[in-house]
Amino acid sequence: MAWRFKPSKYKNAAPKAAKSEEWIKDVSVETYQINGSPITCSAKFMAFNVDAGGTISVLPLDYKGRVPKLHPHIFAHADVVTAMGFSPFDDGLLATGSHDSLHSLDDPDVKAAK
């Protein structure tokens, strides 16, 4: 039996850019060397490095618009945060590692409630 050509149902698929109102603007991700991505996300939050020290900023995933200068921070470490990631089992549990040889587990839900 000969091979038959099947047209792809994805042949006209193209990415669609989000509207500028849906962008998150002014995210200041610093240029330090880290072992992974400077931004990490879960199903509820996004986290990224800010400033020079071990400061992490956490925003809800549905946040839109400009990031204000005085948004909530987590002061997790005394030195530069080199690795971070959310737990695959708990969307609010953020694990971080730093040059100060410490690991930190933070829950943005609890910190936002205080």
Domain limits, the chain: 23-113
CA distance 3 to 68: 59
Degrees to nearest 5, angle at CA 72 with 69 and 104: 130
Q: Report whether 50 contacts 57 (CB < 8 A).
A: yes
Whole-structure pTM over 0.85, yes or no? Answer: no
Residue 52: beta bridge partners? none
Render pLDDT for 17-54 as a digit per residue (tens, 0 to 9): 888 888 888 777 665 666 667 788 888 888 888 766 67
